[in-house]
Amino acid sequence: MGENVMGQLGIGGDSGKGKNIVNPRPVALKEQLKMAAGGHDFSLFLTQEGFLYSAGSSESGQLGTNDTGEYIDNRKTLFSAHATPSRIHSFFTLDQKTKTKVRIPQVLIRHISCGMHHSAAISTADHLFTWGFNGHGRLGHKTTENELIPMRVNHFRVSDKNQCVRIAKCSVGGVFAVNNIGTVYVWGMNNIARLECPYPIPIEDMYGWDVHDIAPGKQHHVIVADKSSISMGKQTKGELGMGPNTKSSSQLDKMNSVDGIPMLKCAAGIGHTLLLADDSSEEAKRLIEGLDVNED
């Protein structure tokens, strides 16, 4: 439900296209879904079988269907809306010798993420693919050209399972990723980390941490690792979790109030943070019960 100007809800047909949908409607797919992700004006849908579909605007190639939907009407350049989800059939890599794109057969997807106008997906083989808008090199391919099809991020060597990717999250202007040995990478434009880089670079402050989840927000980022919750960025409403005296931080720092509590997931909104705790141990239950729930 919500805005459907470019058909990004994926409900199909023309009746709801260009309108706000105020009541829930089913996505126009018969397959059983296990995950969905939304960008500025497009969406991705992942089926239980690992097939990937997209709907909405493809102006920058973010639908991954090798088409921008561009057309001319009355001397104006416009972009068509795709209200019915289309399957993304093809995934590619760049041959380093010939510099040509080579199709990878039989790719199945297990995780998806959307930025404003770019997309990322992790395959069941732990290979990371990105596509769409590539301003400031946010796709991680050492270029700034938009990609209309999913391209494997070849920085993560597929010949080494340890270097393959287990977590990937799109930020507004880039991507965060964690490989199978726990190294955290970031690339693209990231004003919070004061970074602009078209290829993955490791975050040295996170060496040695067992990262469970990452939440790249618009003005702040959150990472949950081991038994700590870590944040950085701009604090306007207390979203960094570091107390009232912290205004902003360009460096990663622990939230001392929840240190020792293992977190499973995290989310970063506009001015707020959510943490999902693992309370399966007696120690975690004790620490959670000790949190100040009467804060004014």
**Residue 127, pLDDT score:** 97
**Residue 80, pLDDT score:** 85
**Residue 294, pLDDT score:** 62
**Residue 16, pLDDT score:** 59
pLDDT at 15 over 70: no
**Residue 295, pLDDT score:** 57
**Residue 195, pLDDT score:** 81
At 264, list the tokens: 């499973």
Tens digits of per-residue pLDDT, 252-280?
A: 999 999 999 999 999 999 999 999 999 99
**What's the pLDDT band for 192 if we cut at 50, 70, 90?**
confident
Tens digits of per-residue pLDDT, 107-159?
A: 999 999 999 999 999 999 999 999 999 999 999 999 999 999 999 999 998 88
State the chain's mean pLDDT as an integer.
92
Residue 37 to residue 64: CA distance in whole angstroms:
14
Could you give the strand order of the β-sheet that contains 128-132, starting from the edge strand earlier in sequence? Answer: 101-104, 91-94, 147-152, 128-132, 118-123, 109-114
**Residue 176, pLDDT score:** 97
